[in-house]
Structure 1
Amino acid sequence: MTEPTPDPLEVLRERLVAPGEVLTGTVAGFDGGDVLVLLDGDAPGLPSGRVPGHELTWRRVQHPSDVLAVGQRLRAEVTMRDGRGGGTLLSGRATEDEALYRFLRGVGRGDVVAGTVSSVHPFGVFVRLDGEPAHPVYEGTGFVNVPELSWSRFDDPADVVAPGQRIAARVLVADTRRGQVALSLKALQEDPWDALALGVGDVVAGPVTRIVPFGVFVRVEAFAEGLVHSDELGGRSVEEGQELRVRVLEVDRARRRLRLGLAR
């Protein structure tokens, strides 16, 4: 019995590639702001690759035809399988800058890296990592989100680091699509919760840091605040900055939370 001729698209689906793999192909056309790609190995006339417009390039362009033409060769990184049609979604900008791509692929999760703070913003800190190539967009390849700056409480990232400061940080992830290395400074700091000496029943004093509909937060350590629930306040009126004597009712080290009550 003669075996049936396999459907080319089914063959393609069976050889699906993993996210992060780099594929090559030929620009087959455009679909709005997306680029359709005939990947090497596709059946003629059946392009299975798609580069969304926002994944095409680091440059600002009005339409992908401003930088690509039908028939042009393209190299891009796989992001995921397109659930709409079984094709492959790709990122062109991930591999657009070869030096940046190689640098990012050479950085691993958990690595400890060094660099210089290039700028400080309310949303985080950019870092020029040692050995990085010039970035096409950002002020540095490294980026530290605000929660990863320090275990201690602070109001402004500028209270923790300053431009020009040398730092060491642990790599959380190197993202070729974003062109960034997510970093953590506090991952190299001792977790103060491990040494928290407070226990249930202890009485301490601290300032009110926040007032919320369900209670108030009181700072009891430089790195730790606890919630005094409104039920515990008994109708008492308090203001931010006011010093309160509180009793520790619960210590949740895993979630880094304290439940407090007013000390009588």
Structure 2
Amino acid sequence: MTLDGFSGRPLGIVWPSDVSWRGERATAVKVGRRITGEVTDIDLDKGRARLSMTATEDPELWAFLRSRHRGEILSGTVAAIERFGVFVSLDDGPAHPVLPGVGFITVPELSWHHVDSVSDVVQVGQHVTCEFLQFDDWNGEARLSLRALRPDPFAAFAEGTRVGRILPVQVTRLVPFGAFVRVADGIEGLVHVRELARTPVETPEEVVRVGDDVTVVITGIDVQRRRLTLSLRQTSPDLP
């Protein structure tokens, strides 16, 4: 795309998702046609600007989203539930031209606990209060967090424990690289496959099963990443 005033070479690009939410994207633009778009990003290395035609298509929506700031509290009603997250129709925001709601909560932002099913956390029609995280200008939506307004159980746990502490736990999930165990309500830790037994094993199933009660020792606490690493072999002299 050649920008007005810069006819030397193409400096602008409009990605398919930025063309239009209404009608066929393939017919919305043609070679030689003049368009209007809002600059949403500038790539200095490639010397080009990303433009959004959808931003000028829905100026009220863009103005609303652009004026939000991280940490702002927004409320709304759960409009639709998908396997990848939840759409929220905001109380004080405009409607989205194609999506069920302007607000969106990804699965990890629903709860501090592991979420097997989104419907276990929220239901369509439920009123929720969330924290604004960012303006997603690819989809024209407000990324929200439900869990941000609730106490983080990992932070409280990490503050009251230490590396070297021995804990009774229950195995909750097995993955190729190890076993996840429930340390406390809402807190899981990983026992890497190399920490399951004193002698090398190829799969966690050789040592434990889901539902097993075992004893582990804390070998690492990463508060920033909310990660807890554990060892079974260091607490079980009877293991092979």
Q: Normalising by the residue count of structure 2, what TM-score does the alignment of the two structures yield?
A: 0.80
- Answering whether residue 165 of structure 2 is matched by residue 202 of structure 1, we say yes
Distance apart, 1:62 and its partner CA: 5.4
Q: Which has the larger radius of gyration?
A: 1
**Is residue 115–residue 168 contact of structure 1 (8 Å, CA) maintained in 2?**
yes
**Between structures 1 and 2, the one with greater strand share:** 1
Residues 114 and 166 of structure 1 are in contact (CA less than 8 Å); yes or no, is this contact kept in structure 2? yes
- Counterparts of 2:140 and 2:111, CA distance in 1: 24
Query: Structure 1 residue 147 and structure 2 residue 108: aligned?
Result: yes
Residue equivalent to 1:58: 21
Q: CA RMSD in A?
A: 2.8
Structure 2 match to 1:96: 57
Aligned residues: 225
Contact 1:207 1:243 in 2 (8 A): yes
The question of whether the paired residues in 2 share the 8 Å contact of 1:95 and 1:176 is answered with: no
The 2-side partners of 1:135 and 1:166 are apart by 18
- Structure 1 stretch displaced more, 196-205 or 216-225: 196-205
Contact kept, 8 Å, 2:75 with 2:90, in 1: the verdict is yes
Given that 2:17 and 2:139 are in contact with CA atoms closer than 8 Å, whether structure 1 keeps it comes out as: no
Distance 1:154 1:82 in 2: 37
Structure 2 SS opposite 1:135: coil
For residue 67 of structure 1, report the CA deviation from its aligned partner. Answer: 6.5
**Is 1:127–1:141's contact at 8 Å kept on the other side of the alignment?**
yes
Structure 2: unaligned runs, 5 residues or longer: none
8 Å contact kept, 1:38–1:45? no
- The whole-number CA distance in structure 1 between the counterparts of 2:31 and 2:17 is 17
Give the deviation of 1:226 after TM superposition. 1.6
Counting aligned pairs with the same residue, the percent is 43
User: Secondary structure at the residue paired with 1:63?
Assistant: helix
SS of residue in 2 equivalent to 1:249: strand
Shift of 1:75: 3.1
Letter in 2 for 1:157: V
User: Does residue 217 in structure 1 map to residue 180 in structure 2?
Assistant: yes
Aligned partners of 2:131 and 2:144 also within 8 Å: yes
Q: 2:117 pairs with 146, 156, 161, which one?
A: 156
1:179 is matched with: 140
